[in-house]
Structure 1
Amino acid sequence: MPEGPSVKRFQLLTAPFVGQVVAKVGGSSRQRNLKDLKAMRLQDSQASGKNLFLAFGAALEAWTMGGSPSPGPVEEEPTIQGEADRGACSLTLSQEGQEDEVSQLSPKEHSVQRKQETECSVPDAADAAGGIWKWLRFHFGLFGSIRANEFSRANKANKRGDWKDPVPRLVLNFDSGGFLVFYNCRIHWCTSPAVEPASDILSPKFHRGQALAALRQPTSICYTLLDQRYFSGLGNIIKNEILYLARIHPLSQGSLLALSDLESLLDHAVQFSTDWLHKKLAGKGLHYQIYLKEKCPLGHEVMQGTFGPRDGFKRLSWWCPQCQPLVAPEGNDPKSLKR
């Protein structure tokens, strides 16, 4: 799924629409009361880790966010065939080496996603943001994305051999004539954004001391890095890349590593995530050092394994045994550790 830099980019893509009024709502989502967004104003846009939050309020209430909504005629929702002439701007997501626009959910995946959405209810207006705003939380799937003023197009045939464009989960048309399109995401109403800047690797308020304490636990370091309580927005790509940059084996226990090594790892986590965001905003791709590679930059053979807590989710790891030697507990043979 999109990692912190991608979701932050999504937030920046939605930001220009803050202050505008929703003129029409479309999409395949069966989340209840999404149609109620019509005639509401987009009041705020926030990103936290892997989640995007949008706030909506009554269009007639005084808007205090700064600036004023752009006046303009209400336009009909653009068709899939006719929107390309709008002079579109878009940001696409490259997740784990593939483009988001090539993916289309299967009927089974659509069914599961719709079931998840319909199980959630919209909060009463009196319960949301002090009785004024209603918040939507967006959690993106593996190839989730947002586009502004254009729709995603299929660039290859699906498993059935059909060239079908991805189906939008939600389309928000605004009174200015612009629109936002959301793909492959779960949409839930919430009473307020669950923003934890102390754990967000892209936040200026990221708490290094808290993160460092988490890294020093007697746990495989690759498990800790994916724990969103301490590293919100850090995903599998970032995990693999920064472990290689810090020369740390993914299964090394944090409590056995030197403090200087953990501080180096933390520096790489923040710097890599920030650089990745800047590359995305500049429309540049990301060059992997170890992720999905057969050899490391020094020419050594790369190993691959699936690691995760016994009762948790397992994720793929790539590492170089020569550049990233395993630090094992005293008296244990590194080869005996489970992978």
Structure 2
Amino acid sequence: MPEGPSVKRFQLLTAPFVGQVVAKVGGSSRQRNLKDLKAMRLQDSQASGKNLFLAFGAALEAWTMGGSPSPGPVEEEPTIQGEADRGACSLTLSQEGQEDEVSQLSPKEHSVQRKQETECSVPDAADAAGGIWKWLRFHFGLFGSIRANEFSRANKANKRGDWKDPVPRLVLNFDSGGFLVFYNCRIHWCTSPAVEPASDILSPKFHRGQALAALRQPTSICYTLLDQRYFSGLGNIIKNEILYLARIHPLSQGSLLALSDLESLLDHAVQFSTDWLHKKLSIAYYQLNGMDLDT
């Protein structure tokens, strides 16, 4: 599943849409209350570990604060074949061709995710009208992704031999004409984003002392690295790379390793994650500007 650097890139993709009003909601999600996003304004976008949080508020809220008034209601247009190719979203609720939500979580990751989901609730519509934001939490599956102003296309045949494009879980069309497409993700309403900078490996507030203490526990080092309480955003890819760079066996007991080895592992965790994020952003920049990566 997407790790911290990928989710941070997803957050940066959504950032330009902050302040815009949702004109139409589509996708294959069967959550009826997602339709309530129509005519709401995207107010904020945050990333924490492997989770993306989007805040929505009443469109009139920005107008009363001096912004421009929101546009009138947008009439729904019937979905026709080929509509996606012209940049509009399909409102079809069929699950045919939908990506499987493959989750490869450790037991501790499952525990953290269940805790986050139990803290999620659906705020009343009156809350948004009164100025309180509604938050959506996105947790992405193995092939989860976000596209801005484009749809994902099939690059190979599926197991049945069909060349079917992935079905988006959620599509948000905005009044500006742009749109966001969410694939292979779990979506939950939350009262507030569960952001823990001290455990986020990409945060400037990452608590090295707390992480180092966790690494010194009498537990296999590979399991400690996947504990999102201390290394939020770190997944199997980062884990394997930094253990190789630090020359540490994955099943080594943290309590038996030298402090210098653990500090080196921690340095690699932060540096590799940061470098990976910068690489992703560089590739996105070149693709956005139609530039050749080799130049």
Report if aligned partners of 2:39, 2:73 keep a CA contact under 8 Å in 1: no
Report if aligned partners of 2:83, 2:90 keep a CA contact under 8 Å in 1: no
Kindly provide the CA deviation profile for residues 107-163 of structure 1, in whole angstroms up to 9, marking residues without a partner as x: 999999999999986222567899610000000000000000010011111111111
Q: Percent identity?
A: 97
Report if aligned partners of 1:101, 1:152 keep a CA contact under 8 Å in 2: no
The 3-state SS of whatever aligns with 1:146 is strand
The 3-state SS of whatever aligns with 1:99 is coil
Shift of 1:62: 2.8
Report if aligned partners of 2:26, 2:170 keep a CA contact under 8 Å in 1: yes
1-structure distance, mates of 2:96, 2:198: 26
Cα distance, 1:4–1:119 mapped onto 2, change above 3 Å = closer
Structure 1 residue runs of 4+, over 3 Å off?
A: 63-121, 125-131, 316-319, 336-339
Q: Which residue of structure 2 aligns with residue 155 of structure 1?
A: 155
Shift of 1:250: 0.5
Q: Mean alpha-carbon deviation: is it higher for 110-119 or for 2-11?
A: 110-119
Shift of 1:103: 14
Cα distance, 1:194–1:150 mapped onto 2, change above 3 Å = same
Choose between structure 1 and 2: higher helix proportion.
Answer: 2
Cα distance, 1:64–1:229 mapped onto 2, change above 3 Å = farther
2-structure distance, mates of 1:246, 1:94: 47
State the aligned residue count.
Answer: 290
Report if aligned partners of 1:7, 1:47 keep a CA contact under 8 Å in 2: yes
Report if aligned partners of 2:7, 2:51 keep a CA contact under 8 Å in 1: yes
1-structure distance, mates of 2:216, 2:91: 37
The 3-state SS of whatever aligns with 2:60 is coil
2-structure distance, mates of 1:127, 1:180: 25
Kindly provide the CA deviation profile for residues 53-95 of structure 1, in whole angstroms up to 9, marking residues without a partner as x: 0000000003799997998996978979767877999999999
Report if aligned partners of 2:102, 2:141 keep a CA contact under 8 Å in 1: no
Q: Mean alpha-carbon deviation: is it higher for 121-130 or for 270-279?
A: 121-130
2-structure distance, mates of 1:232, 1:113: 11
The 3-state SS of whatever aligns with 2:275 is helix
Report if aligned partners of 1:125, 1:133 keep a CA contact under 8 Å in 2: no
Report if aligned partners of 1:20, 1:69 keep a CA contact under 8 Å in 2: no
Kindly provide the CA deviation profile for residues 251-305 of structure 1, in whole angstroms up to 9, marking residues without a partner as x: 11111111111000000000000000011111xxxxxxxxxxxxxxxxxxxxxxx
Q: Mean alpha-carbon deviation: is it higher for 56-65 or for 148-157?
A: 56-65
Which consecutive residues of structure 2, in runs of 5 or more, have no partner in the other structure? 287-291
Cα distance, 1:318–1:63 mapped onto 2, change above 3 Å = closer
Are 1:233 and 2:233 matched, yes or no? yes
Cα distance, 1:76–1:149 mapped onto 2, change above 3 Å = farther
Q: Which residue of structure 1 aligns with residue 136 of structure 2?
A: 136
Cα distance, 1:232–1:90 mapped onto 2, change above 3 Å = farther
The 3-state SS of whatever aligns with 1:102 is coil
Cα distance, 1:114–1:134 mapped onto 2, change above 3 Å = same
Report if aligned partners of 1:103, 1:166 keep a CA contact under 8 Å in 2: no
Report if aligned partners of 2:154, 2:163 keep a CA contact under 8 Å in 1: yes
Shift of 1:195: 0.3
Shift of 1:32: 3.1
Report if aligned partners of 2:3, 2:49 keep a CA contact under 8 Å in 1: yes
2-structure distance, mates of 1:106, 1:213: 20
The 3-state SS of whatever aligns with 2:64 is coil
RMSD over aligned Cα, in angstroms?
9.1
1-structure distance, mates of 2:284, 2:252: 13
Report if aligned partners of 1:93, 1:144 keep a CA contact under 8 Å in 2: no
1-structure distance, mates of 2:228, 2:101: 26
2-structure distance, mates of 1:109, 1:4: 14
TM-score (norm 1): 0.69
Shift of 1:203: 0.4
2-structure distance, mates of 1:148, 1:179: 6
The 3-state SS of whatever aligns with 2:56 is strand
